[in-house]
Structures are given as C-alpha cells and as structure tokens.
Structure 1
Amino acid sequence: METRMRSLTKATSWQGLGLVTMSALGYVFTGSLTSGGILAVSSGIVGFCVYLVHERLWAGVRWGWHPVEERRRDDGWGPGRA
C-alpha cells in the first residue's frame, strides 16, 4: 500500500501533466495561449468534479468487490518482511 503523500504527489503530477497537455492542444486548435489555458483549467475543474461523482457512484457498486482478509503474522506478509 502506498502512502497518502505518494498518492497526493502522483495525483498532483498527473494533473499538472494534464494541464500542460490540454494547454498545448488548446493552443494548437485555437492558436491562442489564453484560450488554450482557459480550456485546460476548465477541463481540469470539470474532470475533477466528474471524477468525484464517478468514484462515489462506484463506491456503492459491490460487483467485483472482495473483502480483505487479515493475514497471520507468520505467513511471511507481516510488517517484518524484507
């Protein structure tokens, strides 16, 4: 399991990459850095909101969900494993 800080760092770098990519595409299609930037920021905000709704909807779906079973310490998967 990764740490929250790693998850946050990955999400931030992914969002930054998305903003740069969308800005470049917006510039290519409109010829305007301003329009490309507005498109990128708008897309990021809308995408974030839609993602949150999507995640909350999927949180209620139990298909493909398996409960995590606790493992015994002596099975090699405990915290002392190198």
Structure 2
Amino acid sequence: MDREQLRKYIDENLLTKQEAMKITGQSISAFDQAVQTGQLLPFYDHGKDRSRVRLYLKADVEEYARRAEERRKRLGE
C-alpha cells in the first residue's frame, strides 16, 4: 500500500472522537464511558495524556451506534 492509498484508507475508514460522537449521538461523558467499559474500542491508540491520539474504525462506530439505538428502543418500550 503506497502513501496515497494509506491516506485514502484513513480518510474513508478512521474517525476522530468528535466524528464518532456525531455518529453515535452521544455526549462526551457517554462516549467516554462506552470506551472505558469496552463497548467501543479505539482502532488506534497512541501516546499519553494530552498527546494521546485515538482513532475509531468507522464500521465499529456505526455498529455500536446501531446496537445503542436498539437498546434505547427496548428500554423505552
């Protein structure tokens, strides 16, 4: 995979926390809780503290959002 292919893959498949939160419709605290409890795992996690970089696989975030929506519907019934 050359540099441009890698860049394209990243653009199409990896999300920042803010992008992932838009898909899940969650607040920062709810999103962080999902990560802390292992319901949603970063695809890439590097660094510590303020220099930490976490990226999420788009397919994982979309699947998590679908499951979360199903839970909300079940609990609302």
Fold in common (TM above 0.5): no
TM-score with structure 1 setting the length = 0.32
Higher relative contact order (CA 8 A, sep 6+): 2
In terms of fraction of residues, the more strand-rich structure is 2
In terms of fraction of residues, the more helix-rich structure is 1
